[in-house]
Structure 1
Amino acid sequence: MTRKGQLEDDISKALMKFEKEYLGRGPQEVKTFIIEDQIFIRLKGVLTPAEQHLAHSHEGKILIKKIRTQLLEDSRPLLEKMIQEFTGQKVISLHTDISTVTGERILVFTLEANLEALVD
Structure 2
Amino acid sequence: MVLKKGQLEDEISKALMKFEKEYLGRGPQEVKTFILEDQIYVRLKGVLTLAEQHLAQTHEGKLLVKRVRTQLLENLRSVLEDMIEEITGQKVISLHTDISTITGERIIVFTLADNLEARFS
Q: Same fold (TM over 0.5)?
A: yes
Structure 2 counterpart of 1:87, which letter? T
Distance 2:21 2:79 in 1: 14
Following TM superposition, where does structure 1 have runs of at least 4 consecutive aligned residues deviating by more than 2 angstroms?
none
Counterpart of 2:89? 88
Counterpart of 1:47? 48
Per-residue Cα deviation, 1:49-105 (whole angstroms, up to 9, x for no partner): 000000100000000000000000010000000000011100000000000000000
Segments of 5+ residues of structure 1 without an aligned counterpart are none
Per-residue Cα deviation, 1:14-52 (whole angstroms, up to 9, x for no partner): 100110010110000000000000000000000000000
RMSD of equivalent CA atoms: 0.7
Counterpart of 1:36? 37
Counterpart of 1:106? 107
Counterpart of 1:77? 78
Measured after TM superposition, the shift of residue 119 of structure 1 is: 2.7
TM-score, normalised by the number of residues in structure 2: 0.97
Distance 1:119 1:83 in 2: 17
TM-score, normalised by the number of residues in structure 1: 0.98
Structure 2 counterpart of 1:81, which letter? D
